[in-house]
A and B are shown apart, each in its own frame.
Chain A
Amino acid sequence: MYPPAFNYSAPTSVEEVLATLAKEGEGARVLAGGQSLIPMMKLRLASPSYLVDINDVDGLDYITDVNGHVAIGALVRHNDIVKSELIGSTNHAMTDAAPWIADPIVRNRGTVCGSIAHCDPEGDWNSVMLAARAEVVAQSAAGERVIPIDDFIVDFFTNSLEPGEIVKEVRVPKYTGRGGGAYVKLERKIGDYATVGVATQLELGDDGKIAKAGIAMTAVNSKNTRAAAAEQVLVGETPSDELFREAGNAAAQASEPETNVRGTEEWKREVVSVYTRRGLETALAQAQAQA
């Protein structure tokens, strides 16, 4: 399979990238890892007229600890997250999710920000970002704006970037108290997209009650979706099996899965419920393990 023809440049600065995007207009697309875009082009499901390759831009591959959040630059690859000690010590759900993104070779190339921008409802990162209440930094020639992940994800393969904007980084808030998280994914084999994925994050107050909760779901709605009602079940409560079960049921109610070759709607709902509960159990254990 071969992609359709396009024009191409590989600028070395963000300014040049933005200028090129502005100049080339609507048919232009950013090429980062390309691990979703290039297969789509090969299958002729996408046919951009121009690709602006950002891989040669220096200084976009950072994972840094700033102002209470971890900033992840546009060229951070999935495998960088797998290996990152900073992520490992600050966000369990990300650490959990990273090794199950695509396959080990694709993870060498594919980027976190690219995956977030792609807004594939079967993609894992946006659920993790929703659970963590991350923010996306969009940049255009006009400047930067910070978009809460809930506002960034619009719909099926649709984000809220304006023409001429790129995702420059994603900011993942650090736990403010004792925190933990998990990403539980049902994939049929390595390289598969999620059939069901649930990201969970918990923070405990000094009283041992749940101070903050984040729950979001993959592949069971038209976009990665926050299970807000399930979060509300948890906040302010003392963790218990019964509470987690209740949160699982609330998450399942917030899912709108479709019956397809991967399974029935009814079963997927059940998996959401079970995975939510299991993810919360893991997150709680991690939070409680912290001093």
Chain B
Amino acid sequence: MTTTADQVGHLHTPPEIGGIGHSVRRHEDDRFIQGAGNYVDDIELPGMLHMAILRSPVAHAKILSIDTSEATALEGVVAVVTGELMAEHNLAWMPTLSGDTQAVLATDKVRFQGQEVAAVIATHPYIARDALGLIFVDYEELPAITSPQQAMADGAVLIRDDKEGQADNLAYEWESGDKDVTDRAFAEADKIVSLETHYPRSHPSPLETCGAVADVDPASGQVTIYMTSQAPHAHRTVFALVAGLPEQNIRIISPDIGGGFGNKVPVYPGYVIATAASLLIGKPVKWVESRTENLISTGFARDYHMKGELALNSEGRILALRTEILSDQGAFFADAQPTKFKAGLFHIVTGSYDYPAAHVVARGAYTNKAPGGVAYRCSFRVTEASYMIERLVQNAAYDIGMDPAEFRALNFIKPEQFPYHSPTGFVYDSGDYETAMRKALGIVDYEALRKEQAEARAEGRLIGIGMASFTEVVGAGNSKDYDILGLKMFDSAELRVHPTGKAILKLGVKSQGQGHETTFAQIVAEELGIPAGDIKVLEGDTDNTPYGLGTYASRSTPVAGAATAMISRTLREKARKIAAHLLEASADDLDWEPGKFFVKGSPEQSVTIQDVAFAAYTNPPPDEQPGLEGVHYYDPPNMTYPFGTYVVVVEVDAETGEWNVDRMIAVDDCGVRINPMIVDGQIMGGLTEGFAAATNQFITFDDEGNCIGSNFMDYLVPTAWETPRFELDETVTPSPHHPIGAKGVGESATVGSPAAYVNAVIDALAHLGVRNIDMPLLPDRVWSAIQNATG
């Protein structure tokens, strides 16, 4: 069993308790390895009907007519729902998480290929699918806008003519930092380094697609919706607001989730239509997306067109950063992100480096593409930001003739500068960037590798060494700055210790594979000394868990983890009073070690936490309420800032542009690691996502707005064969403001690694003058870069 020391160099609990730092094997695995997980598609209810959605084959068109008569007549079809019907119930449109509106079922126009046009409810899923072929829609096609540049050009066709006062295709405009100070720094610079690149459209594509079973009881009005939701409480509130249903009658159950990665944060039309259909028909309705539906209609990610510039002085110090973003938002502005920040937390783009000035301008455009803008395994556009700065820094090093590692070291924020106030307003909690970087470079033997690279180059072989020293901002967030549709981004934990000393922990967040049932139990084990195996963790049922904003943006450990530690500590203080009562001592005279209280100086006079739990129900102190239960709502004082350095070594085939990863080293610092095994698992998953982004995994569109990348034959997610063999290491710099010093880790590697892979390929070609290849680094793009550089 792996055991890793915490920040003070030792474990507080023995393995049988399994507190923080133990690689406790996952509690949830027992059901998964036996095929006994319970996912949405596994739910069968009596009388359940099945829904299929008809989607637009074209990207932009007026709907002239919809003929549903043949579909309705098909045996087994119960109902065909159109936008017209939804409009009668005021449900044809719904709000997005960015405060825009999105069509549930199109009434006037379709605005992207794959948009929801009608839905069939039938007795069998095959029949529902058959009936889609019997719905006839007459479209009058309009020109499709397939890029934000096109959308912002003069005379572009107006996509959102449904919105009053919308005269162009601008979805939002936002800025951060100080323009004047930044411009002055640029005016004084000795050198300016610039980069223009596109972070392509991507999709989280968890292996389980999105789906729901909506079960409306016509007699009681009770609405139970089983759905693939990363944020069940927030979704319950959205349902209450959209449908005008009484919130106490809505119960969202998010059962086992087959991966989320941000895809299951938004509310999708399918959920709403299934619920409306169940409401109208009075029977449960199941809707489960196909992979194609998932890829063409649900929340995409990225699609940022970025320009960045660094101002440098002659010594290689960064003076300032300027960036300009044009984001492709698709037909509806549906980024899942905090209300105040229209480009998410992109302003973390100043990265791991110390300089006084930065200015970020972001604009988003409507296009005839699917809406979304979800934070695909990242905290609200932090991936794009990290990519921008780490690519710029690498190029800056080439352009001023410094080694990229030494350039970084020169410009890093130093450990003594924390808490560090960034020029765009963040307060970095803690960090030691150079130590992490040196560790990664040591593993790869950087100096020897540079020598090897030079020798290879002399033989005509192209080896590249890329790195990224990223800083994330996660754990949204403090209520002053962070809310979604007004809901503050706190989270909660309810802990009930039962009389026999076993416990149940109820959370407002929702695991999609992150191992919450284990790690959150470990936090309780750490704080209360109850063995982690004696603690059940319950999530994803809004009737039975306290309110919370859900799991995304690496916020579960920073926010709900803190709530768990805090409620455990509250109960420990109550337990101390009960223990004092049992030991007939003063509470102040008791010492605590995990699992027991004892009288100071008399360790033989002790009671276990289990004794205390029993007494809480059988023999409580006269002045205390019985029981050992409580709930804590945690409003984090600050965000957390995980960091690390990734190093990638590649070899490029100069003749064809193909490239292979020879090594991939990741040194992560996510603060205190609750379960090192699970932390490493999260990192390796993310490193794979970064590899995917750098190599092949993207969605594009042709000029008519047809989606290229609409299934797993075209949207290429890596298999075990292509995926690099990762080498991991760590440093531990605790978060000073988090109760257990943890920072969150689910997304670091997705955020940090794309730049490392790309920088490695660029590094192989840097001597030819190559400074940019847009992701993904398809062999033809690499080949063209070589051709253009040499020829």
Stretch at the interface among B265-273, B431-439, B564-572, B715-723: B715-723
Given the known A-B contacts A188-B716, A189-B716, A261-B708, are A271 and B656 also in contact in the complex, defined by CB atoms under 8 Å?
A: yes
**CB contact list, A65-105 vs B, under 8 A:** 103
Report Cα–Cα, A267/B778, bound state, in Å: 11
Given contacts A1-B292, A274-B655, contact A186 B129 (CB under 8 A): no
CB neighbours of A5 from chain B (8 A): 130
A209: B residues at CB distance < 8 A: none
Q: Is the CB of B716 within 8 A of A192?
A: yes
Instruction: Give residues of chain B (596-644) contacting chain A, Cβ–Cβ below 8 Å.
Output: none
Verify A190–B722 contact, CB threshold 8 A: yes
> Is the C-beta of A145 less than 8 angstroms from some C-beta in chain B?
no
Q: Are B719 and A1 closer than 8 Å at their CB atoms?
A: no
Given A1-B290, A263-B779, A274-B656, A190:B721 Cβ within 8 A: yes
Asked whether A267 lies within 8 Å of B784 as measured between CB atoms, the reply is yes
Please determine whether B719 and A190 come into contact, CB atoms closer than 8 angstroms: yes
**In whole Å, how far is B711's beta carbon from the nearest beta carbon of chain A?**
8
> Is B714 at the interface (CB under 8 A from chain A)?
yes
Nearest Cβ on chain B to A147's Cβ, whole angstroms: 30
Separation of A249 and B366 alpha carbons in the complex (Å): 46
The answer, among B125, B700, B784, for a CB contact under 8 Å with A261, is B700
CA distance A5 to B709 in the complex (A): 27
Q: In the complex, are the beta carbons of A103 and B719 less than 8 A apart?
A: yes
Q: Chain B nearest CB: distance from A282 CB in Å?
A: 15
Is A191 on the interface with B (CB-CB < 8 A)? yes
A192–B696 Cα distance when bound, in Å, is 11
Q: Decide if A267 touches B783 in the complex (CB within 8 Å).
A: yes
Does residue A264 face the partner (Cβ distance < 8 Å to B)? yes
Interface size on B, residues (CB 8 A): 32
Q: Does B9 contact A (CB under 8 A)?
A: no
**Cβ–Cβ contact B658 & A186, under 8 A:** yes
Which chain B residue lies CB-closest to A268?
Answer: B780
- CB neighbours (8 Å) of A261 from chain B are 700, 708-709, 714
User: Which residue, of A261, A262, A270, has the highest number of chain B Cβ atoms within 10 A?
Assistant: A261
B656 touches A270 (CB 8 A): yes
Decide yes or no whether A4 CB sits under 8 A from chain B: yes
Q: How far is the CA of A4 from the CA of B127 in the complex (A)?
A: 9
Q: CA–CA, A188 to B712, complex, Å?
A: 12
In the bound complex, how far is the Cα of B779 from the Cα of A1, in angstroms?
A: 33
Complex Cα distance, B785 from A264, in Å, reads: 13
Contact with B696, one of A1, A189, A268 (Cβ below 8 angstroms): A189
Q: Does B595 contact A (CB under 8 A)?
A: no
Chain A residues contacting B719 (CB-CB under 8 Å) are: 103, 189-191
B126 at the interface (CB under 8 A from A): yes
Q: For A270, what are the chain B residues with a Cβ–Cβ distance below 8 Å?
A: 655-656, 783
Q: A46 vs B713: C-alpha distance in the bound complex, in angstroms?
A: 17
The CA of A62 and the CA of B572, in the complex, are separated in Å by: 73
The verdict on B657 contacting chain A, using a C-beta distance below 8 Å, is yes
Contact at B784–A186, with CB atoms within 8 Å? no
B59 CB, nearest partner CB in chain A, Å: 17
Chain B neighbourhood of A268, CB < 8 A: 780
B486 at interface by CB-CB < 8 Å? no
Minimal beta-carbon separation of B5 from chain A (angstroms): 39
Inter-chain contact A4/B696, CB cutoff 8 Å: no
Interface flag for B35 (CB, 8 Å): no
Q: Determine how close the nearest CB of chain A comes to the CB of B706; give it in whole angstroms.
A: 11
A189: B residues at CB distance < 8 A: 696, 716-719, 721-722
- CB contacts (< 8 Å) of B656 on chain A: these are 186, 270-271, 274-275
Q: Is B401 an interface residue (CB 8 A)?
A: no
Chain B residues with CB below 8 A from A274, complex form: 655-656
Inter-chain contact B696/A267, CB cutoff 8 Å: no
**A2→B126 contact, CB < 8 A:** yes
Distance of A6 Cα from B14 Cα, bound (Å): 63
- Does the CB pair A1–B784 fall under 8 Å? no
Residue of A nearest to B721 (CB): A190
Known: A186-B656, A189-B696. A1 touches B129 (CB 8 A): yes
Residues of B within 8 A of A267 (CB): 657, 779-780, 783-784
In the complex, which residues 647-701 of chain B have their Cβ closer than 8 Å to any Cβ of chain A? 655-658, 695-696, 700
Q: Is B133 at the interface (CB under 8 A from chain A)? A: yes
* A103 proximity list for chain B (CB < 8 A): 719
Report Cα–Cα, A268/B716, bound state, in Å. 19
A263 to B712, CA, bound (A): 18
Bound complex: CA A191 to CA B658 (Å): 18
Residues of A within 8 Å of B712, CB to CB, are 191
- What residues of A have a CB within 8 angstroms of the CB of B709 in the complex? 261
A245-269 interface code vs B (CB 8 A; 1 in, 0 out): 0000000000000000111100110
Which residues 189-217 of A sit at the B interface, judged by CB distance below 8 A? 189-193
Chain B residues with CB under 8 Å of A271's CB are 656, 779
Residues in B265-292 with C-beta less than 8 Å from chain A: 290-292
CB distance from A219 to the nearest CB of B (A): 13
Tell me if A264 and B784 are in contact (CB < 8 A).
yes
Q: What distance in Å separates the Cβ of A279 from its nearest Cβ neighbour in chain B?
A: 13
How does the 8 Å CB contact mask read for A42-64 relative to B, with 1 for contact and 0 for none? Answer: 01100000000000000000000
- Interface flags for A155-198 (1: CB within 8 Å of B; 0: not) read 00000000000000000000000000000001011111100000
> Do A263 and B780 touch across chains, with their CB atoms under 8 A apart?
yes
Residues of chain A within 8 A (CB-CB) of B783 are 267, 270
Nearest-Cβ distance from residue B761 to partner chain A, whole angstroms: 16
Question: CA separation between A287 and B714, bound complex, in Å?
Answer: 38
Please name the 7 residue pairs, one residue from A and one from B, whose CB atoms are nearest each other, closest first: A263-B780, A267-B780, A2-B126, A190-B719, A274-B655, A2-B129, A190-B721
A-B contacts, 5 listed (Cβ < 8 Å): A1-B290, A2-B126, A189-B721, A261-B708, A267-B657
Q: Which residues of B contact A (CB under 8 A)?
A: 125-126, 129-130, 133, 290-292, 655-658, 695-696, 700, 708-709, 711-714, 716-719, 721-722, 778-780, 783-784
Given A43-B292, A188-B695, 16 more pairs with CB closer than 8 A = A2-B125, A2-B129, A5-B130, A43-B711, A44-B133, A186-B658, A189-B721, A190-B719, A191-B712, A192-B716, A261-B700, A263-B780, A267-B784, A268-B780, A271-B656, A271-B779
